Amino acid sequence: MKIGFIGLGIMGKPMAANLIKAGHELVVSAHNEAAASELAQLGASTARTPREIAAQVELLITMLPNSPQVRDVALGTDGIVGGARSDLIYVDMSSIAPAVAQEVAQALAERGVKMLDAPVSGGEPKAIDGTLSIMVGGDREAFDQVHDVLAAMGSSVVHVGDIGAGNTTKLANQVIVALNIAAVSEALVLAQKAGVAPGAVVEAIRGGLAGSAVLEAKAPMMLAHEFKPGFRINLHIKDLNNAMDTSEDIGAPLPLTAAVLDVLRLLDAEDHGGEDHSGLVQYYEELAGTRLESS
């Protein structure tokens, strides 16, 4: 399949590379010149604008920072809407507000374009190895048409409902992840302060009910104080802002999420925004006047 891909950042570039490895013909945005050059060496071609890309592909995928960028790429000057064929399928894999996904889908539907919102979970490591979790909202027939393409980037590809449902699912995911990271941080700092090796605590509890993917992925980073970003604090803030906006719109309060969001904002203000979200532990260390030790 000939596929367009726009958004070659920390997640998008390896996702695009996996599509090439799966045998698809790719046209990528030249906006990020370094990333586009790397993918060109793998066989991708490039184009300057979303409109140019949309005019030559069957499927167009975007992986962008937030709602404004998706709206602009899809509907703005030289956007997808200006070049799309009536049989184009557009899959936005960004994490955005569900209402914006619905707005963009409605505008594109007037041109005969079917849109899916398909945000992902797993961070850079799973983007690289092609094992992302992909949650998809939109037309079921369109989903069936692109399922195998999405499976080249993820180990789990699940249709969750109508357009916007993908991003609602992602917001739920991000709420759970944020609260889990906060809980692991609190627990390990508690152990450290009490004189119990936090690494031993992790080993003791990982096989029980407290065990989780968050514990396995993030506790080692906390213990090593290694916060190279797989998923940055400032991106998690963006997602939780979208969650809070959505919760207000529909009347579903998120008090625990609001508390963790305040902590993430504080860390961002202290220049930790570019670190991995496991760096949340630094807030609790500072409160307790201690620092985790690996042994």
State how far the Cα of 276 lies from the Cα of 132, in Å rounded to an integer.
Answer: 17
Catalytic residue from among 114, 126, 170, 218: 170
DSSP E strands in the chain: the ranges are 2-6, 25-29, 45-47, 59-62, 89-92, 114-117, 120-121, 132-138, 154-161
State how far the Cα of 26 lies from the Cα of 176, in Å rounded to an integer.
Answer: 34
Q: Which helix (H) or strand (E) holds 128?
A: helix 123-129
Which pair of tokens denotes residue 127?
């983007």
Q: Is 170 considered catalytic here? A: yes
126: left (phi over 0), alpha (psi -120 to 50) or beta: alpha
What is the full DSSP assignment across 143-206?
Answer: HHHHHHHHHTTEEEEEEEESTTHHHHHHHHHHHHHHHHHHHHHHHHHHHHHHT--HHHHHHHHT
CB-based burial of residue 249 (10 Å sphere; 0-12 exposed, 13-18 middle, 19+ buried)? exposed
Task: Please count the CA atoms within 13 angstroms of the CA of 115 that sit on its side-chain side.
Answer: 32
By annotation, the residues acting in catalysis are 170
